[in-house]
């Protein structure tokens, strides 16, 4: 019994207590059962750690006409994170080769230019046959796949509802904000 407890405690140290709790109680929605490397340090970032939160998932790029949306995304995250909104950036070079940099360059650009503090995963593929499994699933659920950078998916707290918003939808868009508020209600 002691060895089992030690293994769980070791797992808690690696993954974080919230992830272990979700795994033990089965609270992680299947939609979030994916792990990515974190942009800033390459450490594993299980999406299950965000179970119970409203997620705004955005494929990002540093050299795009929509790149200024980073500012609005960070403001939205700062305003609503205490209520349970988590913005997650997915840097991708899929559209117009507008994210050519290394992960360090991307992380530095986001932090220094826009003060980004919301979680971001390492550079990934979000379109076509090579898209990561999470993005494939989001596309299947919504019937909408990214056509360009800064496409958004809004996921409710239990992962049972996903709504897609195109790149033209700014972070302060009234329809997006109304849906976020709806999903944030207890």
Beta bridge partners of 55: 86, 155
Is 155 in contact with 142 (CB distance < 8 Å)? Answer: no
Active site residue 64: yes
Rounded Cα–Cα distance for residues 157 and 184 (Å): 8
Beta bridge partners of 58: 89, 152
Rounded Cα–Cα distance for residues 98 and 135 (Å): 19
Tell me which of 28, 48, 64, 110 is the catalytic residue. Answer: 64
Rounded Cα–Cα distance for residues 75 and 21 (Å): 30
Instruction: Say how many C-beta atoms besides its own lie within 10 A of residue 36's C-beta.
Output: 18
Q: Which of the residues are catalytic?
A: 64
């Amino acid at each position: 019994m002691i060895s089992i407890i030690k293994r769980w405690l070791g797992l808690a140290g690696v993954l974080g207590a919230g992830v272990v709790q979700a795994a033990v109680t089965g609270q992680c929605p299947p939609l979030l059962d994916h792990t990515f490397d974190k942009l800033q340090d390459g450490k594993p970032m299980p999406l299950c750690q965000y179970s119970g939160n409203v997620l705004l998932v955005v494929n990002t790029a540093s050299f795009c006409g929509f790149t200024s949306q980073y500012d609005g995304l960070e403001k939205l995250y700062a305003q609503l994170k205490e209520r349970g909104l988590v913005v997650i950036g997915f840097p991708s070079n899929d559209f117009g080769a507008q994210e050519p940099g290394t992960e360090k360059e991307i992380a530095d650009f986001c932090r220094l230019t826009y003060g980004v503090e919301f979680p971001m995963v390492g550079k990934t593929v979000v379109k076509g046959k090579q898209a990561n499994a999470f993005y494939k699933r989001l596309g299947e659920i919504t019937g909408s796949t990214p056509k360009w950078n800064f496409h958004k998916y809004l996921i409710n707290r239990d992962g049972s509802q996903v709504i897609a918003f195109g790149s033209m939808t700014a972070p302060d868009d009234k329809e997006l904000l109304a849906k976020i508020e709806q999903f944030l209600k207890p």
